[in-house]
Structure formats: structure tokens, C-alpha cells
Structure 1
Amino acid sequence: MRVLVVDDHPLYREGLVGAIDTMPGKEVVGEAADGAEAVRRTAELAPDVVVMDLHMPELNGVDATRAITASHPDVAVLVLTMLEGDDSVFAAVRAGAKGYLLKGADRAEIGRALDAVAHGEVVFSSSIAQRVLAFFAGGRAAGATPFPELTDREREVLDLVARGLTNAEIARRLVVSDKTVRNHVSNVFAKLHVAGRAEAVARARDAGLGV
């Protein structure tokens, strides 16, 4: 099994590569530090499985997963991330991920998940499996709205920011003043604890907004 490891933290990526390389029948054929590089390396290396982090610079893991599964449907994407919220899980599944593990997973769990997704199966960490089943059985559970700490209008503004609109364009779309939009954007940044627009867009797209 040929594996591509994608993570923007060098030490974690190095440790993961070492762990996978010791697993029988598995070989790490490449690494990537962001989503854009992951898409390029997938095209170059033709791995069987891509182990994908979600919160990364350049191109987040959800968008990278979407691009990879669209262009290379035979490549399985296994998400391995610290993000355990419903928004991230469902966004990754919608993008085409075949598995979703949390970074607390041990070597044995990662090995089993790699085997599963490589054979066309779907696998989730036990802590989120029940939520995923509930989602597909009866729709999103109550309280699964993206970023519940935001007001409806702030969430709407964040969605438009994630779609690439400027503050002035958002103001025209919502028929409000530029100052009102600036205030909403500032509130969103504060509530999400992000430093700027690019980080807010990454968080929003991880949660399925702006797509």
C-alpha cells in the first residue's frame, strides 16, 4: 500500500511517517505540508491512500480532499486531525473522505483504518461514529449548526467572506453599510479566535461554509 502523508506540523508528520513505514505492507511514498502540495503530490505519486490533516495553510484539508477525490477517484483519503466537531467531520465526508480519525488514535487504529479505506470501506473514530450515524439516519442533530457561537447574521457574513466577497460586496449583498459589515467581521474574528481573513476562511471552509 502506497501512502501519502499530509500535515503541516513537521514533527507530527515525521512521527506519522515513521509509524506507517513500520507497518507490514505499507510504504510512505511522499509527504506534503499543505493542501495544495497534497493535490500536486497525489498527481505525481499516485498513492493508494492519502492521510490528510484538515487545518492547514495554502489549501485546507477539506478542499484538498475534494480536489483529490474528484481527480483521482481511486485514491482513498483518510482524515487524521485534531478537529472533532460535527462541522469538520461532515465537511470532510461531503468532500469525499473515506475515513476520519482523531490524532489521539494509536498505531494499531491507524493501521486498521488504512487497510479499511484502501479496500473501499468507511471508518470513523469511535468517539464520532455515533454522530455520523445519527446524521445519516435523520439529518444533522440539533446543535450541529456551524459555529453556534455566532449569530445568524454573523454566520451569513462568514459564509460570504468564505466565498471570496469583499466587505463592500457583502454590504451591497445584505443591503447594509460597510461599517456594519466591518463590525460583523470583527465580531466573527473575535469569537472564532482567528487572526485575520485567511484563517477565518480556512475555518469556515473546514466547516462546509463558502462552498
Structure 2
Amino acid sequence: MSHPGRHPGRRAMAELCRPTRVAVHCHHRMHGETLASWLSALAGYSVVGIVSTGPCLLQLCVLRAPDIALLRTKAADDEELALVRKLRADHPGLRVIGLQYPFDPQESLRLHHAGVHRLVSLRSDLSVLFAALEDLRQHGEFANRRPRLTDRELEVLALVCGGYSVERIAPVLNISPHTVANFKRRIFAKLEVQSRTQAAVEAERLGLLRVGTPSPERGGPPSLTSRDRDILASIARGESVRQTANALGIAMKTVQSEQRNLFFKLGVANRAEALFRARALGLVDDC
């Protein structure tokens, strides 16, 4: 017997109305960004991250719990098939769409047996991919799951990676410094990192934070020395100043001096900002 004021279907309706969450896997970052931009423009879809490797995709699915994964397939070899099986085993509610080129019947059969729900040829137009997405969206039994990194945690992560201190983040998000510190601890634990720079590396590696294109007024890529590039590579590995010094066989003060020159060239204030700026300019390779 129903009771006045109660709406048994409200939670189900909210789940139906929420955007379908999509993870994008593509070996070429530019192609992945293009595909993500197209998806983001579709009504009812939300891109949770863009990655370029299988391990990154597995970790992204743990952190952001997508409903659908777009997987760029290559040869349906043992490694690729194992990736699909692990995705399906670890995330039973996940639906996988394989993006295949060129089309090969034998490869398609192996991918389907491994657990891919739909295969779309990259020679098809986007309407074919959209039809596959809509089919899985309407008929897939998406569990009532929540992302491991919440929207608020992503906001804090973006500000942390941008070089904001706990005290500066608090008024921006209208929460207390104590709450920010708690968010930061949880984020670092989920990403399994110890520092802001390491968090920036993981956030970029997993496509959790989209790097904007360089603005025209900031100009093109600066001219970097080999030492600049060595320091950038160390930052991209999530290493501390001390670890950078040890790796390069130089003093910490030398690293700090060289780092200041690098920051000036990039127009940034800290290592996390340097990493994001370098990614946007194509100065650091993707994972």
C-alpha cells in the first residue's frame, strides 16, 4: 500500500536521468580528445576520462566507474583480450564498445567472446557509433553505482593540481580548510600518491582533468634546453626535487635554480602547473 508523499520510483527516475558516463581509450591522444569532445556535446553523455593504455583504462574504471568504455582495439591479441576480460570481471555493469580498424571477422569474434558488447568500424560515420551508444544506454543494466572520485573531489583535485593551497581552496569552494584537507587526503589515498605533483601526474595520466589548449596570447612552445627537458621528465614521473637531483647527479639547489628558469619559460608557478602546461604544449609524452 502506497503512502502519501512517498515516491518509490524517484531514485530509479534519478538514475535514468543522470548522464551516461563514458571512458575513452585511444592510443593517440589527439584522436581521444576529438572523440571526447564529440561525446561531451551529446545530450545525456558525460566523459569521465581519456586514456591511452590498458592499465590506465583499468585504473580509470576503478576511480570513475563509467557505464560505457570505448576501447580502441588493434589486433585482438592475448593482451587485448585479457584487458577486456578483466574489465568485464572487475566491473560487471560496464558495457564495452570496441573501435576497430581495419575490420577483421576473426578478430571481431575473439573480441565478442572476450566480452565486448559492440564493435564499430572506424571507417563508419559517427551515426553508427551513436546508435551503438544509444542501444547500450537504453538496454544496458547499469548498476546504481557512484564514481569513486566524486564531483567535489574532482574540483578539489583540479585546484590542488593548479597549485592552490588548502587555505586558498577553502573560500573558492565555500568550505572550511579542514574539509579541504580531508578531501585532499581522500583523493591522494584513492590515487595512491603522496604529493601534489604525483596527483597531477595521475590526474593527467588517467584523463581525469582535461588540459586546455594553449591560449594565443601565451604563444607557442618555448625553447627548452636538454636540462629543462630532463627536469620536465622527472616531474612527469612524479619525482620530488630531491629525487630529480639524485637522478640527474646534481645538487638540489641546482635543480631549484634550473626549475625556476623552466617555470619562467612556461609561465607557471609550481611543478604541477608546469606539468599541465607542458602537456598542453606537447612537450611531455602521454602515458
TM band (smaller chain): 0.5 to 0.7
Aligned counterparts of 1:9 and 1:61: Cα–Cα separation in 2: 16
- SS of equivalent to 2:48: strand
CA contact (8 A) 2:33 2:50 kept: no
Q: Confirm or deny that 1:63 pairs with 2:67.
A: no
Aligned to 1:18: 37
- TM alignment of 1:15-94, pairs within 5 A: 15-55=34-74, 60-94=79-113
Aligned counterparts of 2:84 and 2:51: Cα–Cα separation in 1: 13
Aligned counterparts of 1:106 and 1:21: Cα–Cα separation in 2: 17
Aligned counterparts of 1:46 and 1:61: Cα–Cα separation in 2: 20
Q: Confirm or deny that 1:107 pairs with 2:123.
A: no
Query: Aligned in 2, Cα 1:21/1:60: closer, same or farther, shift over 3 Å?
Result: farther
**From 9, 25, 37, the counterpart of 1:6:** 25
Tell me the TM-score normalised to structure 1 length: 0.53
Tell me the TM-score normalised to structure 2 length: 0.39
Alpha-carbon deviation of 1:73?
A: 1.1
Matched AA of 1:71: D
- SS of equivalent to 1:23: coil
Alpha-carbon deviation of 1:92?
A: 0.8
Deviations 1:50-93 (A, max 9, x none): 0001128xx95432211101111100000012131122101110
- SS of equivalent to 2:113: helix
Aligned counterparts of 2:69 and 2:37: Cα–Cα separation in 1: 15
Q: Which has the higher contact order (CA 8 A, sep 6+)?
A: 1
Unaligned runs of 5+ in 1: 122-211
Query: Aligned in 2, Cα 1:90/1:36: closer, same or farther, shift over 3 Å?
Result: same
Aligned to 2:116: 97
Report the structure number with the largest CA radius of gyration: 2
- SS of equivalent to 1:74: coil
- SS of equivalent to 1:50: strand
Query: Aligned in 2, Cα 1:105/1:54: closer, same or farther, shift over 3 Å?
Result: same
- SS of equivalent to 1:83: coil
- TM alignment of 1:134-149, pairs within 5 A: none
CA contact (8 A) 2:96 2:118 kept: yes
Aligned counterparts of 2:53 and 2:74: Cα–Cα separation in 1: 9
- SS of equivalent to 2:123: coil
Aligned counterparts of 1:83 and 1:62: Cα–Cα separation in 2: 17
Aligned counterparts of 1:100 and 1:11: Cα–Cα separation in 2: 21
Alpha-carbon deviation of 1:105?
A: 2.4
Deviations 1:150-172 (A, max 9, x none): xxxxxxxxxxxxxxxxxxxxxxx
Identity in percent? 21
Unaligned runs of 5+ in 2: 1-19, 141-287
Aligned counterparts of 1:119 and 1:74: Cα–Cα separation in 2: 13
Aligned counterparts of 2:104 and 2:133: Cα–Cα separation in 1: 22
- TM alignment of 1:118-133, pairs within 5 A: 118-120=137-139
